[in-house]
Structure 1
Amino acid sequence: MAKVTTVEQAMEIAADQTLLASCAKTFSVGGLLVDDAGNVLHAIPNQVIKDGYTSDPTAHGERQLIDWYYSNRPGLPPPSQVTVVTSLDPCCMCTGAILTAGFKVLTAAYDTYSGINYDKTSNFPSLTIGMASRAKERFGYPEVVDGVCYNRPAKGPENNVPAFTAKTIEGRTVALCESIFEATLMAVRNQINNDLPFDQLGDIDSLPSSDPIRVALSRKYPQALQYRSRAPFTPDEGLAPYLKAMMQHDIALGGRGQAVALLDHHGNLLLCMSGSEATSSIRTAFMEVTRTYAGLRRQLQLDGNKDTRKYLPHPKYCTFVFGLGPMLDDSHPVRHDIGPDSQTQSFMELGAYGSTMEGALDAVNPSPYQYVRPRMNAATLAAFCKKLPPLYSGEIKVNPIQVANEALIEAIGGSA
């Protein structure tokens, strides 16, 4: 096990991971986990893109590190004694994951477009008051020295990694982390959004049951294509049995009764899943669905199936239907005694949804994020989303809405 004694040494490892990501032609971001004794537990690059295809829109370095931690937890220190060292300010998804799990953070470069500290004030205006308070206790931005225009004072807590003898980083390290990310950003985003236009999409339900696309889909979710909404982008009461079954399954697995269904542009049910929070507190239902769908598309394309993008479209042409809406309101008390709080998980899912879209929505489907049972006032939720970093609030315009079908709402349980 490698060991580091300074913040610069840790950041150099993170910077090395950005080079691996760049060579793999994915977002050039990387990070590592370091315990309070300076032991490097694990390091990993961003892996959103693999072999030229979107593999997992949630495979940011920080999210992967947290899942790695849960997969290897026996014998590891508790999250409060572990720091995520990252080359770039965490996005909304990774921030929610970090706060849910309880890690500390050290960041090299700011991200003024999608980073949680996009305004560089360390006040975290996109978070609720409660979440911002926790972020201020855990998110550190070390002092940068010898960097000319990269010089900056330290912000955030100074005790993230007490074993470090030197807590400054060099300007050239920050410059590398910032410039390599910016150099690859648009090329990767264009790759993610390089899908067929809406008018060239097909109907998967028209394919024979023996078609490889349908076979692969049914292996992921045996009840796929057993439901189709009466109108595109408008889930109705016919979806209720599938959502309810997975909501109950989520509770049985230690979750809070969440489930997420994915409908395509014709209203065909592609996936409906619960979370897997007993495995990892950040493996919520939406995280499972978006990762499963991306992985399915990637594998079919690697297998040479040229019709994949025609019948399994980009997620922006689909509708994610959440059984339970977001909870991002400080008026709801946080109950740590019953597991990860819904605020941080909801924030993580908003961010993961943004990472899944990774660009402006199409006018044909302005509301890919719909929920059935509300857990907060719709106006409060809309106001919250307008405070998100520019990528989410300005370009993607994240705006979860309640489904319009009253019968579906009633079937799932109405108002919270």
Structure 2
Amino acid sequence: MAKVTTVEQAMEIAADQTLIASCANTFSVGGLLVDDAGNVLHAMPNQVIKDGYTSDPTAHGERQLTDWYYANSKNLPEPSQITVVTSLDPCCMCTGAILTAGFKVLTAAYDTYSGINYDTKSDFPSLTPGMAKRAETRFGYPEVVDGVCYNRLAKGPENNVPAFTAKTIQGRTVALCENIFQATLASVRQQINNDLPFDQLGDILSLTSTDPIRVALSSKYAQALQYRSQAPFTPDEGLVPYLKAMMQYDITLGGKGQAVALLDHHGNLLLCKSGSESMSSIRTAFMEVTRTYAGLRRQLQMDGIKDTRKYLPHPKYCTFVFALGPMLDDEPRVRPDIGPLSQTQSFMELGAYGSTMEGALDTVNNPSPYQYVRSRMNADTLAAFCTKMPPLYSSEIKVNPIQVTNQGLIEGIG
């Protein structure tokens, strides 16, 4: 097990991971987990893109490190004794994952478009006051000193890793972390959105049941294509049994009864999943759905199935239907499915939705791609919350969860 004694040494490892990511033609971001004694537990690069295809839109370094921790936690210290050292300010998804897990954070470079402190003030403008208070005690931005334009004073806690004997980082390290990310950003986002236009999409039900696309889809979800909404982009009461079955399953796996269905542009049910929170508290239902869908599309394309994008469209043409809506306020609650953990998970899911889209939505053809059935907070409060998210989410993607309009579906979920 490697050991680091300064924050600069740790940041250099994170910077090395950005190089690995850059060579793989994915977002050039990387990070590592360090315990309070300075032991490097694990390091990972971003892995959103693999072999030229979107493999997992949630595979940011910090999210992957969090899942790695849960998979190996029996032999590791508590999260409060571990710091995520990352090359770039965490996005909303990764911030939610970090707060859910309970890690500390040290960040090299700011990200003024999608980072949680996009204003570079370390004031967490996108979080609720309760979440921001927790983040302020965990997220550190070390001092940068070497006499050039990257200099900055330290913000946040300076003693996240007690074993560190020096707590400043060099401008060249920050410059590498910032500029290598910027250099790859446009090309990677273009790759993620390299899909067919809406008018070239087909209906998956026109394929035979033995078509490789349908066979692969059914292998991920046995009930795939057994439901189709009466109108595109308008889920109705026919979706109730599929959502309710997964809501119950979610409870058996340690969740709070969440389930997420994915409908295509015709209203066909592609996937419906619960979370896997007994394995990891960040493996929520939405995370499972979006990761499964991306992995399915990648595998089919790698297998040479040329019509994959025609019949399994980009997620921006689909509708994600959450059984339970987001919960993102600090009001006292008495229901067991609402609390600090639900808050940070909901925030993570909003961010993960943004990572799944990674670009402007097609609201002309698909006006409401993010819908929920049971409301858990006031709709106006939710809409106002989304406008405070970093520019990627609030200005470009314009994340806007809305409640489904079908009363039978609402009443069926209860």
TM range (shorter): over 0.9
Q: Does 1:408 align with 2:409?
A: yes
How far apart, CA to CA, are the structure 2 residues paired with 1:335 and 1:51?
Answer: 45
Partner of 2:399: 398
1:255-311 Cα offsets, whole Å, 9 max, x none, are 000000000000000000000000001000000000000000000000000000000
1:384 counterpart letter in structure 2: F
Once residues 100 and 235 of structure 2 are traced to their aligned partners in structure 1, the CA distance between those partners, rounded to angstroms, is 30
User: Do the aligned residues in 1 keep the contact of 2:256 with 2:337 (CA within 8 Å)?
Assistant: no
Counterpart in the other structure of 2:137: 137
- TM-score calculated relative to the size of structure 2: 0.98
Partners of 2:392 and 2:243 in 1: CA distance: 30
Instruction: Establish whether residue 87 from structure 1 lines up as the match of residue 87 from structure 2.
Output: yes
Residue of structure 2 in register with 1:199 after alignment: 199
Give the Cα–Cα distance (whole angstroms) in 1 for the partners of residues 240 and 211 of structure 2: 27
**Which residue matches 2:243?**
243
- How big is the shift at 1:366? 2.6
Q: Is the 8 A contact 2:86 2:105 kept in 1?
A: yes
Q: What is the DSSP-based 3-state SS (H/G/I as helix, E as strand, rest coil) of the residue aligned with 2:149?
A: helix
Structure 1: distance between partners of 2:289 and 2:339 = 21
Identity of aligned residues (%): 86
Corresponding residue for residue 171 of structure 1: 171
1:305 match: secondary structure: coil
How many angstroms apart in 2 are the aligned matches of 1:285 and 1:187? 29
CA distance in 2 between counterparts of 1:102 and 1:52 reads 33
Letter in 2 for 1:262: L
In structure 2, how many angstroms separate the alpha carbons of the residues matched to 1:221 and 1:262? 11
| 1:365-380 equivalent positions in 2, closer than 5 A | 365-380=366-381
**1:137-192 deviations in whole A, cap 9, x for unaligned?**
00000000115100000000112101100000000000000000000000000000
Describe the SS at the equivalent of 2:199. helix
Higher alpha-carbon deviation: 327-336 or 101-110: 327-336
SS of equivalent to 1:150: coil
In the alignment, what sits opposite 1:37? 37
- Is the CA contact 1:334–1:341 (under 8 Å) kept in the aligned structure 2? no
Q: Does the 8 Å CA contact 1:325/1:373 hold for their aligned counterparts?
A: yes
How far apart are 1:338 and its partner, in Å? 9.4
CA shift, 1:193, in A, is 0.2
Are the equivalent residues in 1 in contact too, given 2:28–2:180 (CA < 8 A)? yes
For 2:254, the aligned partner's letter is G
Contact residue 327 and residue 338 of structure 2 kept, 8 A: no
Partner of 1:161 in structure 2? Answer: 161
**Runs of 4 or more off by more than 4 Å in structure 1?**
333-340
Matched residues in 1 for 2:48 and 2:163: separation?
A: 32
Q: Are 1:20 and 2:20 counterparts?
A: yes
TM-score for the superposition, normalised by structure 1 = 0.98
Contact preservation (8 Å) 1:14, 1:32: yes
**When the two structures are aligned, how many residues end up with a matched partner?**
413
Q: Does 1:384 align with 2:385?
A: yes
1:108-123 to structure 2, matched below 5 A, reads 108-123=108-123
Alignment of 1:13-412 (within 5 A): 13-333=13-333, 341-362=341-362, 363-412=364-413
Q: Secondary structure at the match of 2:74?
A: coil
Aligned letter for 2:133?
A: S
Q: Report how far residue 337 of structure 1 moved.
A: 12
Q: Which amino acid aligns with 1:393?
A: S
Deviations 1:64-110 (A, max 9, x none): 00000001111100000000000000000000000000000000000
Q: 1:339 to 1:119 in 2, by over 3 A?
A: closer
Superposed displacement of residue 29, structure 1: 0.1
What per-residue deviation string (whole Å, max 9, x for no partner) do you get for residues 104-142 of structure 1?
000000000000000111110100000000000000000
User: What does residue 7 of structure 2 align with?
Assistant: 7
Paired with 2:71 and 2:147, the residues of 1 have a C-alpha distance of: 38
Kindly tell me: are residues 376 and 44 of structure 1, through their superposed partners in 2, closer, same or farther at Cα, counting changes over 3 Å?
A: same
Shift of 1:367: 1.7
Q: Deviations over 1:344-389 (max 9, x none)?
A: 0000000000000000000211321100000000000000000000
1:3 match: secondary structure:
coil
Q: Unaligned regions of 5+ residues in structure 2, if any?
A: none
Q: Structure 1 residue 340: deviation in Å?
A: 6.4
The amino acid that maps onto 2:113 is: Y
Q: Helix, strand or coil: the match of 1:322? A: strand
What is the CA–CA distance in structure 1 between the aligned matches of 2:406 and 2:227, rounded to whole Å? 15
